[in-house]
A and B are shown apart, each in its own frame.
Chain A
């Protein structure tokens, strides 16, 4: 297996709205792949297709060699949603423990370890409802990591996270990829995109361009990813 995720010519419509149209991409094992695009471009739909929460209208999605949706594969997938999807009336430890148990094979030691990892050891027994937005985001990440997934899907993971914490998140992401974990992260923050191994520009449900940050800038002769994106978008429009 070279590619952790293979998306081939996938279509997905919600009623009359075409959210994803004929999109194909491959994410090699151990890479951080960034999905970059404006709001409503289809990033979240793509991630939900990969997470097996949606069934493609056409085309195929393969995750860790299995065609999606496949419940068994999900034990090896960690998914962090955009909004902090947590139980506010449970403690940090209970939330992490719950999602760990749902995936299966998670020990108490692992739960403590992952809570320490997101720097919340002191708040482990606080109710999630009493935490700040940034802390909730960290709990959310802990829930996605607790079962040691081989594929991590992060939908806007650092929205509302302060720069210092963002750096910590990325240090951890890098440690994970070194262990062979594949990460797909959606973002519209350019600084974050710079840190990805490979980027896919998403626009109107399709893949506009793909490559490393340096390649994309070079191909358009621009100095920032923002300009590069606009340049590709303009080219596509013409």
Chain B
């Protein structure tokens, strides 16, 4: 069964019908309910109160968050890294399982999460590679596979894994390798790791 056949079946299904009388009386029933409960429809308190309560609750949560962050002695960058959804093994595994051999890149940048899929399902099965690139202002991260070209931090990079389990990143003007700690990624700070999803 393909998607259009499924849609045809779904759309063919009808909800149990209510009588015309039901639909004649329903609007009046709603109107009566509105009149009964007053001008605002439902009996609610002053509108500013819930907003004020939510505002206070949010402020308290933010303060607690800062206190915990300070107490743990963590830097902002570390805190940001911990929020990186691509470090979530379950998320990565489920995404890859959902689109077998189709995922070129799962990208996480300032615009949020983006998924780049191959229409042909020809992405070779290999250990996924996690890449994090910071350009001084923003950091972006992605999960991809060896041989893929990715647009990240405004640059087109090719991600390769080598025989020793290291990761090589090539840009237009540089070659960076995880096995060469002093290699430079131009103005980019690059971190990579091969993901073994069972141990992630």
Chain A bound to chain B: no
